[in-house]
Amino acid sequence: MWIADLEALSDEELVRRFVSDGVKEAVDVLLRRHTDRVFGLAYRILGNRADALDASQEVFLGVFRKAASFRHQSAFSTWLYRLTVNACTDLGRRRSRLPQASDTIEVPVPDAIGRTDDRLAVDAALRSLPIDQRTAIVMRDLYGASYEDIAAATATAVGTVKSRIARGRSALAAVLGGQGEPPTSRGRLIRKKP
Amino acid sequence: MSEHVDTEQLSAYLDGEVAPTARARLEAHLAGCPECAGRKEALARAAQAVATLPAVSPSPAEVRAIRQAVLERWPGGAVAGVGRVPWTQRVGWRLYAAGAGAAAVIVAGIFGYALTRPTSGSHRPTSGSAALSAPVASPSPPALSSKEEVLAFASAQPDLAQAAQSVTAADAAAATRQFLSQIQGQATQAPPEAFAASSPPPKAAAAAPQNQAGVPAQPAPSPGTLPACVQAVLAAQPQPLVPLKAVDISYRGTPAWLLAFASAPAGSPGGPLTTVQVWVQSQASCVTLEHTSLTP
């Protein structure tokens, strides 16, 4: 296949091109569209790159393996979220039975005025949340997903999503808000709004 | 004063997930209750803190690992093309620049060749003016990931706009032949007529300086593939295009070529070839990954 503008095809059509016709460039295009989000979400849920990579591989393999079961009632992106959350939950469950895998600490890139401590503290606080709260909060606050999408991706009711987000935010606010002692000695952890 | 608002409602309120009637009540309460307003602020700061975390993207190597896992574990095993040599193991990345025109010479800065016109009827390999100082030992090809980055990268190539200025539509066939012979090394492959047949005939030779430096053309990184890809792009376009440059890059983790062509501006098909069109093609099979153009 030469110069076929695969980029113009829908996600579903790309999946079909690979599954039915073996066009491997369709995989490349699909990966370009979605790996950032899948990997990024998995990273925030699982907390390290190695697990995020494992989960991402499962997700994309799942996209092609389960293509036949994709129902067009939901958007492809919602389905992808669901596969990602499932892969992370499975992996998280397996990991929880093992000694904690090397928890790679990302070295945060300082922003324009050198603020990195805040992010480290937020990152640590987020990791301390239960996985279901963390998943809901990351999807909502980092990826802008609606409650409905989060509910679909996590196979729960919207009310449950609402509750998980609220409990997660409360816990984060308690850790980060300096109620009593701040969690580290590096000073104020939440900057005021400009 | 009404009852305090529960945390769940405050949190949902921040996300615009509270029904209008409940929202009006909630806002009325917040206006008169510093305690609830304070809790709302604390929740908002927590949400804001998460929102400021950087989005973590996979590295090109991680994207390749995902791709490889998919293709290898797909029923039926390895799909053709999985085993290709990754760019990290190829001989660095190379820049190929070529051009032709009345002056037939492109001052290409640190990258690129100055070309001579081919002698009529023959397909003599062109010799370069030792100007090619491609960073062969560069650890990795430039990694680009969006149309904007492609545009910025192409704009930063010092020789492209200049090359486009010196090319006319009448030169398309000759310039194309020269470019292809460059990237085919010593041009032992398909005769140029095979792919240049539909192009206009070369303009009568101007006083083209012959370069006697005797520096041989650089061999193509994957013989047969890059020239075939350039030809495929040319064949797919109705208007005259003159290839100017090919750069080995990585586009969102996929080994790719950035191909630059001179073309006439969109509004004046017969005009001078002052626009540089850029295609990013997958090296695996020359599928178009990105297409953009630079207008001077």
Q: Is residue B96 pLDDT above 50, yes or no?
A: no
**H/E/C letters for each residue in A127-148?**
HCCCHHHHHHHHHHHHCCCCHH
Using a CB–CB cutoff of 8 Å, tell me whether A190 touches chain B. yes
User: Which residue, B248, B192, B193, is CA-closest to B220?
Assistant: B248
Residue type, B7: T
Structure tokens at A157: 């009711």
Q: Is residue B22 pLDDT above 80, yes or no?
A: yes
pLDDT at B216: 39
Highest-scoring range by mean pLDDT, A16-25, B160-169, B203-212: A16-25
Q: Is residue B102 pLDDT above 80, yes or no?
A: no
Kindly indicate whether the ipTM for this predicted assembly is greater than 0.90, answering yes or no.
no
Own/partner pairs, B274-281, CB within 8 angstroms, 24+ separation: B274/B164, B274/B165, B275/B164, B276/B154, B276/B160, B276/B161, B276/B164, B276/B244, B277/B241, B278/B150, B278/B151, B278/B154, B279/B233, B280/B144, B280/B150, B280/B249, B280/B251, B280/B256, B281/A3, B281/B229, B281/B233, B281/B256, B281/B257
Using a CB–CB cutoff of 8 Å, tell me whether A127 touches chain B. no
Give me the mean pLDDT over the B160-178 stretch: 75
User: To which residue do tokens 């969006």 refer?
Assistant: B146
The burial class, CB within 10 Å (0-12 / 13-18 / 19+), for B102 is: middle
Minimum mean pLDDT range among A134-138, B15-19, B156-160, B227-231: B156-160
Positions of E strands within chain A: none
Give me the mean pLDDT over the B159-166 stretch: 72
Q: Which residues of A touch B226 (CB under 8 A)?
A: none
Contact B234, B241 (CB under 8 A): yes
Dihedral of alpha carbons B12, B16, B18, B21, sign? positive
Quote the radius of gyration of chain B (alpha carbons, Å). 28
* Higher pLDDT among residues A8 and B269, named by residue: A8
Size of interface A-B (CB pairs under 8 A): 171
pLDDT at B256: 85
- Cβ within 8 Å of residue A137, ≥6 positions away: A126, A129, A164, A165, A168, A169, A172, B47, B50
pLDDT at A111: 52
Q: Tell if the CB–CB gap between A140 and B15 is shorter than 8 Å.
A: yes
pLDDT at B61: 92
Q: Tell if the CB–CB gap between A162 and B50 is shorter than 8 Å.
A: no
Please give the model's pTM, rounded to 2 decimal places. Answer: 0.53
- CB nearest to B42's CB, from A1, A44, A177: A177
pLDDT at A187: 34
* Higher pLDDT among residues A33 and B158, named by residue: A33
pLDDT at B292: 84
Chain B residue with minimum CA distance to A127: B50
Contact B272, B214 (CB under 8 A): no
User: Which residue, A107, A90, A167, is CA-closest to A136?
Assistant: A167
A129-188 residues touching B, CB cutoff 8 A: 137-138, 140-142, 147, 162-163, 165-167, 169-170, 172-173, 176-177
Minimum mean pLDDT range among A14-28, A159-173, B163-177, B252-266: B163-177
pLDDT at B179: 80
3-state secondary structure of A110: coil
Chain B residue with minimum CA distance to A178: B42
Average pLDDT, rounded, for chain B: 67
Q: What letters, b where the CB count within 10 A reaches 16 and e where it falls short, cover A81-91?
A: bbbbbbbbbeb
CA B244, chain centre distance (Å): 14
Using a CB–CB cutoff of 8 Å, tell me whether B46 touches chain A. yes
pLDDT at A24: 84
Structure tokens at A72: 């067009």
Query: Which residues of chain A carry a pLDDT beneath 70?
Result: 1-4, 71-73, 97-117, 178-194
Q: Is residue B154 pLDDT above 60, yes or no?
A: yes
